[in-house]
Amino acid sequence: MDGVFLKNENLEKRSLQKPLMWQISVDFYTEDPKLLNDVEYVKDALVKAAKEADISIISSNFHQFPVQGLSGFVFLEESHISIHTWPEYSFGVLDIEVCDGEPEKALEFLKKAFKMTKYYVKRIERGLF
């Protein structure tokens, strides 16, 4: 089954309006892989990026893996910012998903914070159907 859609008047009213949510997904390489293994630095960068984008923070949770790398989430009133890192490859992935605020400002802040040398950005508008 490819997809099931239930009849919903609210969905019909939403059609062709602005998106419910924006998602920015980023695969990136850094010139400083040590940053990607520093949980306090990464947490601080994601929190500052949310503030830079005028996005309200609820909480955060980060996990440092035993050998290297980390995963982290900053939970927002508007959704979340997440990161997963592989310092051994100088590589990380970010997702900025918001219903409000200015996610592009968060992205620009994080490009500098993580000293990105190469990156691929995919933007998705969610809730347009």
CA atoms within 13 A of residue 46's CA, in its CB half-sphere: 29
- 79: annotated active-site residue: yes
Task: List per-residue pLDDT tens for the chain, 129 residues long.
Answer: 455 555 555 555 555 577 888 899 999 999 999 999 999 999 999 999 999 988 899 999 999 999 999 999 999 998 999 999 999 999 999 999 988 778 899 999 999 999 999 999 999 888 876
- pLDDT at position 1, please? 46
Count of residues in the chain: 129
> Where do the domains of the chain lie?
19-115
Exactly one of 60, 71, 80, 99 is catalytic; which is it?
A: 99
- 84: annotated active-site residue: yes
What global pTM score does this model have? 0.83
Exactly one of 79, 80, 82, 90 is catalytic; which is it?
A: 79
Exactly one of 60, 82, 84, 90 is catalytic; which is it?
A: 84
Using CA atoms of 18, 73, 112, 68 in order, give the dihedral in degrees to the nearest 10. -150
- Tell me, which fold does domain 19-115 have in CATH? S-adenosylmethionine decarboxylase (3.60.90)
Report yes or no: 25 and 94 within 8 Å, Cβ to Cβ. Answer: yes
d(CA 48, CA 110): 9
- 99: annotated active-site residue: yes
DSSP structure string for 38-98: -HHHHHHHHHHHHHHTT--EEEEEEEE-SSS-EEEEEEETTEEEEEEEEGGGTEEEEEEEE
- Alpha carbon 80 to chain centroid distance? 6
Rg, Å, the chain Cα set: 16
